[in-house]
Structure 1
Amino acid sequence: MSGRPLRAVLFDLDGTLVDSAPDLAGAANEMRVARGLPEAAYESLRPVVGTGARGMLGAAFGIAPEHEDFVSMRDEFLNTYEARMTRLTAVFEPIWPLLDELDRRGVPWGIVTNKAERFALPLVAALQLAVRSSVLIGGDTTPHSKPHPAPLLEAARRLEVEPSDCIYVGDDLRDVQAGRAAGMPTAVAAWGYLGLGDAIELWGADHLLQEPMQLLKLPRMA
């Protein structure tokens, strides 16, 4: 990677900037209760939040996309989530001072998420992030979603910054894969959801952040 100072920071949304697990898990449990089932343990749902409806339905009901009821249940889940997506979701508290410092330094930052614009735009606005973010790329903004590099490349294009001069911070293996494919340095947000796969040390990221303010201590951020 270049030794030049980084000119922009891009963040994943769910599990990196915001804790949306309570509402996503809540939507899955609303569906379970409606079917006469007990609520699933939050601890069993939180790790798969980053995989969206597919992961939530898999954890809550044990069904995969090949299941005959998957499409109808996916649509039900998304509608249920949309109705409650700002009820319990909040920005991770340690994120605020990081964003404040980036703004103070004049470093633009943005959001690249696999969340469809239908959800991402109103959620980011409700959390008071839209007025500060320099770019927002949703899962359907470009023809491809992560781990394809297209969303990250589009964000860099809109920021008028070379991809190698951005850093992408996320909490899922797909975030690291997308960043590497885009030619961006990557950092793993260890406070995030992280999935159920390989240990994060094996993802191949350039940096591992235990807490948000560590980002400012990276050599190219100093």
Structure 2
Amino acid sequence: MFANLQAVLFDLDGTLIDSAPDLGAAADKLRTDRGLPSIPFERYRPMCGAGARGMLGVAFEMTPDHPEFPVYREEFFRNYEACLTERTREFDGVAQLVDALVELGVAWGVVTNKSMRFAGPLTQAMPLFRSARAVIGGDTTPHTKPHPEPLLEGARRLGVPAHCCVYVGDDERDVMAGRAAGMGTVVAGYGYLGAKGETASWGADAHIQRPLDLLALLKTGVPA
């Protein structure tokens, strides 16, 4: 399916790591600090892929056009910085997947819309990312996904042509960015799909329901 595979690039939140508990806690602290009751974590989880917009939407039904949105967003960011890796863990099977990629000689890296303010310290703190050869944040290039430039920058840093890369993510914008970059695309069906659970229309090359499912897809494209 994926001919001449040399590298795999991954989205971060909802694809490699389950950061929802820390994101939800950071948002919920805004409520409890204001004397409001806590919201069950299950309500935050589906919207974690939408970042501050999603978290503040759940916590306060606040949209980005609200006049206080920038103030609440920065407070959310500070809360999140304080708990980046307290509850965040890689999804089951991700560590084994990464080990297998390294064993196969397949380079890998991360392309996320999370700004490097958070993506940098988080990936530096987690042993999982020691073998990652690139971490591209939402502010590494002038563009964010679904624009292809962050993915193309990831390929450049890996020293691999874009058409020899596969991009794995859990949001439609990941598929859009991957296709625009000329990469193979895989939907991580275990991620933060939010209200957009119907992924068949996204146009991805493949879907997986567990991280290790990726290996069977990729091995057919790895040169012997």
For the superposition of Structure 1 and Structure 2, which TM-score range results when normalised by the shorter chain? Answer: over 0.9
Match of 2:116 in 1: 117
- Alignment gaps of 5+ in structure 1: none
Q: Which amino acid is the alignment partner of residue 136 of structure 1?
A: V
Which residue matches 2:16?
A: 17
Are 2:4 and 1:5 equivalent residues in the alignment? yes
Return the alpha-carbon distance in structure 1 between the equivalents of residues 17 and 197 of structure 2: 23
Residue 213 of structure 1 is matched in structure 2 by 212
Structure 2 partner of 1:90: 89
Deviation at 1:132, TM superposition (A): 0.8
AA matched with 1:124: T
Contact kept in structure 2, 1:5 and 1:221, CA below 8 Å: yes
- Cα distance in 2 for partners of 1:34, 1:201 equals 41
Structure 2 counterpart of 1:32: 31
Q: Which residue of 2 aligns with 1:80?
A: 79
CA displacement at 1:164 relative to structure 2: 1.1
- Deviation string 1:99-131 (CA, Å, 9 cap, x unpaired) is 111111111100000110010011011111332
Specify the alignment match of 2:194 in structure 1.
195
Q: Which letter maps to 1:197?
A: K
Written as runs of structure 1 = structure 2, the 5 A alignment for 1:34-183 is 34-183=33-182
Contact 1:114–1:145, Cα closer than 8 Å, also in 2: yes
Identity of aligned residues (%): 55
Alpha-carbon separation, structure 2, partners of 1:12 and 1:78: 20
TM-score normalised by L of structure 2: 0.95
- Say if 2:143 and 2:150, in contact at 8 Å, map to a contact too: yes
The list of structure 1 runs, each at least 4 consecutive aligned residues, that deviate by more than 4 angstroms after superposition, is none
Tell me the SS of whatever aligns to 1:37: coil
Q: Matches of 1:217 and 1:62 in 2, distance apart?
A: 42
C-alpha RMSD over aligned residues: 1.4
| Alignment partners' CA distance in 1, 2:83 and 2:210 | 28
> Conserved in 1, the CA contact under 8 Å of 2:113 and 2:138?
yes
TM-superposed CA distance for 1:185, in Å, is: 0.8
Q: CA deviation at 1:198?
A: 5.2
CA distance in 2, matches of 1:60, 1:5: 45
Does the 8 Å contact 2:178/2:185 carry over to 1? yes
The structural deviation recorded for 1:91 is 1.1
Q: Judge conservation of contact 1:32–1:38 (CA < 8 Å) in 2.
A: yes
Offset of residue 194 of structure 1: 1.1
TM-score, with length taken from structure 1: 0.96
Kept in 2: contact 1:215–1:221 (CA 8 A): no
Contact 2:101 2:107 in 1 (8 A): yes
Cα distance in 2 for partners of 1:70, 1:147 equals: 23
The CA deviation at 1:4 is 2.7
